[in-house]
């Protein structure tokens, strides 16, 4: 259900008179106009001056980033685009920082470099951040989701061999698996990550138990296509452009898009450690503001999406053909079996800010699925964990600086592919309510 959006409040508590006077002095205007701006009682000049001037005043004052050079890791996927474009377009400089995007080989590598401080932040799977927070899927460390980077735009790809056997979708896959008993293998990108959760949810929605009827393996996104080519899996769930690449290489077809599983689902985040935010709060805010600006740019027009696709297709980023990236960025889909369509729910980077807000209910959903599949042995305090991880305070301050509207609520609801509604109101009952789930479900 779409959230109503309202304009963000000015940066942090507000810029009051003393700060207003200092910022007003930075405006190239008459001294009379500066005095007028400085004496508006209780008002923030942040809402009155040019955004570039506003950002300069912000960076020059007490809100200056504590750390100006930041390394943000990314995996070669289409949805790394806003991080890359924040640097490529120089939007980071507007907020007093320099972003260096660093290409990583796997999500496990991203996790480890975040935890040990080699990376300041990362384009990272929503569920990976929550897994580290609770000590599943790796070391335990307090983490932070600063913002959501995108919604939608992933896909479940099945092999051409399955297509030859008549598989077209989840129902026909189940029919084949029931008829022809063998080991079926499906790949995801990280055990607690988004792709694992979409894959398991889709299989279960079609009556296939991902824990008992199939084998799940972990494969880094850029290696998915090569592994399917040599027959290592029957299907995979991964971010674009690797679903489109499998179709172009004629080794697989799209059985389902993730937006068909959950319209406007959360996907990647700008993630970091809680320690980083505590030590460098202004830097964290600046990173979010810069990436928000890039998100706006990408979604502003088809030509901007083309420019983005051209940029991230380079060897230093995604390293594939620009057209493979662009078509699905524009919502132009083909499933590899002759069906083509224009998808209004393709990958979204901004959506008037609704694609970026770190909804508490989004984080909580991943915890419900971690419990569902036995990754968590007991129910956590879902809301308390989400409030600790999702740094809505930092996001709101950055949104004010970047003039991004905010939703009316920190929670949202949606009906998923199986008809079950998620609204965050009773996460324990939701997690326990699925017919297909991990075998051991202790009562807690």
* Residue scoring higher pLDDT (199 or 52): 199
Lowest mean pLDDT among 42-46, 51-55, 106-110, 284-288: 42-46
270 pLDDT tier (thresholds 50, 70, 90): very high
Q: Is 15 a residue whose pLDDT tops 50?
A: no
Compute the average pLDDT of residues 362-381.
98
pLDDT band of 61, cuts 50, 70, 90: low
Residue 286, by phi and psi: left (phi above 0), alpha (psi -120 to 50) or beta?
Answer: alpha
Q: Locate tokens 């500066």: which residue?
A: 34
At residue 221 the predicted structure's pLDDT band, cuts being 50, 70 and 90, is very high
Segment 91-107, tens digit of pLDDT = 999 999 999 999 999 99
Q: How many CB atoms lie within 10 A of CB 134?
A: 17
- Per-residue model confidence as pLDDT tens digits over 321-365: 999 999 999 999 999 999 999 999 999 999 999 999 999 999 999
Distance CA 354, CA 385 (A): 22
Give the C-alpha separation, 223 to 168, whole Å: 24
Predicted local confidence at residue 137, as pLDDT? 78
Output phi, psi for 365, to 5 deg.
Answer: -60, -45
**pLDDT exceeds cutoff 50 at 280:** yes
- Percent of the chain whose pLDDT exceeds 90: 84
Query: 123-153: per-residue pLDDT in tens?
Result: 999 999 999 999 997 899 999 999 999 999 9
Strand ranges for 160-257 from DSSP E: 185-188, 215-218, 235-239, 252-257
Residue (of 329, 325, 351, 354) closest to 342 by Cα position: 329
- Over range 383-396, report the average pLDDT: 98
Delimit the CATH 3.40.190.10 region(s) of the chain. Answer: 69-151+265-330+341-413, 154-260
Among the CATH numbers 3.40.190.10, 1.10.3470.10, 3.40.50.11690, 3.40.640.10, which is that of 154-260? 3.40.190.10
Q: Report the pLDDT averaged over residues 27-38.
A: 33
Nearest to 295 by CA among 147, 121, 194, 124: 147
Kind of pairing between the strands at 252-257 and 154-159:
antiparallel
pLDDT at 110 over 70: yes
Query: 69-151+265-330+341-413, superfamily in CATH?
Result: Periplasmic binding protein-like II (3.40.190.10)
CB count, 10 Å around CB of 339?
Answer: 11
- Whole-number average pLDDT of the chain: 88
Confidence of residue 277 (pLDDT cuts 50, 70, 90): very high
**What residue has token string 């008459």?**
30
Q: Tell me the C-alpha to C-alpha distance, in Å, between residue 240 and each of 181, 224, 258, 339, 364.
A: 31, 11, 11, 18, 25
End-to-end alpha-carbon separation of the chain, Å? Answer: 31
- In the DSSP assignment, the letter for residue 257 is E
Could you check whether the bond before residue 74 is cis, i.e. omega within 30 degrees of 0? no
* Nearest alpha-carbon partner for 221 in 363, 79, 333: 79
Q: Worst-scoring range by mean pLDDT, 10-24, 69-83, 222-236, 278-292?
A: 10-24
pLDDT of 366: 98
pLDDT digits (tens, 9 = 90+) for 299-329: 999 999 999 999 999 999 999 999 999 999 9
Read off the pLDDT band of 440 (50, 70, 90). Answer: low
CB 153 within 8 A of CB 240: yes
Confidence of residue 439 (pLDDT cuts 50, 70, 90): confident
């Amino acid at each position: 259900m779409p959230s109503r959006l309202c304009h963000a409040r000015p940066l942090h508590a507000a810029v009051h008179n003393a700060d207003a006077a200092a910022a007003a002095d930075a405006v190239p205007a008459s001294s009379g106009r500066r005095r007028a701006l400085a004496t508006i009682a209780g008002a923030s000049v942040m809402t009155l001056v040019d955004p570039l001037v506003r950002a300069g005043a912000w960076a020059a004052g007490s809100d200056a980033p504590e750390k100006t050079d930041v390394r943000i890791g990314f995996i070669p996927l289409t949805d790394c685009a806003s991080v890359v474009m924040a640097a490529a377009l120089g939007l980071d400089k507007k907020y007093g920082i320099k972003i260096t995007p660093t290409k990583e080989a796997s999500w496990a590598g991203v996790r480890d470099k975040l935890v040990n401080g080699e990376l300041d932040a990362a384009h990272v799977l929503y569920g990976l951040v929550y897994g580290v927070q609770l000590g599943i899927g790796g070391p335990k460390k307090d983490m932070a989701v600063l913002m959501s980077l995108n919604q939608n735009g992933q896909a479940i790809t099945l092999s051409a061999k399955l297509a030859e056997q008549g598989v077209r979708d989840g129902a026909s896959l189940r029919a084949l698996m029931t008829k022809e008993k063998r080991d079926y293998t499906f790949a995801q990108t990280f055990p607690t990550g988004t792709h694992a959760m979409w894959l398991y949810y889709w299989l279960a929605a079609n009556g296939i138990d991902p824990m008992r009827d199939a084998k799940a393996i972990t494969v880094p996104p850029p290696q998915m296509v090569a592994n399917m080519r040599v027959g290592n899996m029957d299907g995979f769930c991964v971010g674009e452009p690797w679903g489109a690449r499998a179709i172009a290489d004629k080794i697989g077809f799209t059985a389902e898009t993730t937006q068909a599983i959950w319209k406007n689902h959360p996907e990647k985040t700008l993630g970091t450690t809680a320690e980083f935010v505590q030590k460098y709060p202004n830097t964290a805010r600046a990173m979010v503001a810069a990436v928000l600006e890039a998100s706006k740019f990408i979604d502003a027009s088809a030509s901007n999406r083309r420019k983005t696709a051209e940029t991230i297709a380079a060897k230093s980023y995604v390293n594939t053909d620009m057209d493979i990236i662009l078509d699905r960025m524009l919502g132009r889909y083909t499933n590899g079996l002759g069906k083509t369509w224009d998808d209004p729910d393709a990958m979204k980077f901004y959506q008037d800010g609704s694609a970026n807000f770190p909804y508490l209910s989004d984080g909580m959903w991943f915890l419900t699925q971690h419990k569902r599949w036995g990754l968590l042995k007991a129910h956590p305090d879902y809301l308390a964990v989400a409030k600790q991880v999702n740094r809505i305070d930092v996001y709101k301050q950055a949104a004010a600086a970047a003039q991004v509207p905010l939703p009316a609520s920190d929670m949202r609801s949606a009906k998923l592919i199986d008809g079950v509604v998620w609204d965050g109101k009773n996460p324990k009952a939701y997690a326990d309510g699925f017919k297909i789930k991990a075998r051991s479900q202790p009562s807690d």
